[in-house]
Amino acid sequence: MTDVLRRGRASLAFGFCAQGVAFALLVTRIPAVQDRYGVSDALLPAFLAAVPVLAGIGSVTTERLIRRIPPSRVLRWSQPVVLLSLLGVGAGRGMVELAAALAVFGLAVGALDASMNMLGVSLQRSYGRSIMLGFHAAYSLGGIVGASLAWAGAHWHLALFVSYLPVVVLLLPAALVGSRWYVDGDAGVPGTVPDVAGTTSDGDRVEDGGLVFRALLPLCLVMTFAYIGDSTVSNWSAKYLQDVLGSSEQLATLPYNVYMVTTLLGRAVGDLGVRRFGAVAVVRVGALVAAAGFAVVAGAPGAWVGMLGFTLLGLGLCVVVPQTFAAAGRRFPGASDAAVARLNVFNYVGFLVGSPLVGALGDAWSYRGAMLVPMALVLVTLAYARSFAAQPDRYGGGHERRRTADVGRGSDGL
pLDDT value at residue 2: 84
pLDDT tens digits for the chain (414 residues)?
A: 589 999 999 999 999 999 999 999 998 888 889 899 998 888 988 888 899 999 999 999 999 999 999 999 999 999 999 999 999 999 998 999 999 999 999 999 999 999 999 999 999 999 999 999 999 999 999 999 998 898 888 889 899 999 999 999 999 999 999 999 999 975 444 444 344 344 454 544 444 444 467 889 999 999 999 999 999 998 889 889 988 999 887 788 788 888 989 999 999 999 999 999 999 999 999 999 999 999 999 999 999 999 999 999 999 999 999 999 999 988 888 889 999 999 999 999 999 999 899 989 998 999 999 999 999 999 999 999 999 987 543 433 344 444 333 333 333 333
CA–CA separation, 125 vs 319, rounded Å? 18
In degrees, to the nearest 5, what angle opens at C-alpha 38 toward C-alphas 35 and 41?
85
Buried b (16+ CB within 10 A) or exposed e, 6-42: ebbbebbbbbbbbbbbbbbbbbbbeebbbebbebeee
CA–CA separation, 277 vs 275, rounded Å? 6
Superfamily of domain 1-183: MFS general substrate transporter like domains (1.20.1250.20)
Say which residues have a Cβ less than 8 Å from residue 23's Cβ, sequence separation at least 6: 109, 143, 146
Q: Is the pTM of this model over 0.85?
A: yes
Buried b (16+ CB within 10 A) or exposed e, 272-284: ebbbeebbbbbbb
Same topology between domain 1-183 and domain 196-393: yes
Domain ranges of the chain: 1-183, 196-393
pLDDT value at residue 1: 58
The fold of 196-393 is Growth Hormone; Chain: A; (1.20.1250)
- Indicate left, alpha or beta for 204 from its phi (over 0: left) and psi (-120 to 50: alpha): beta
Do 125 and 188 form a contact (C-beta atoms < 8 A)? no
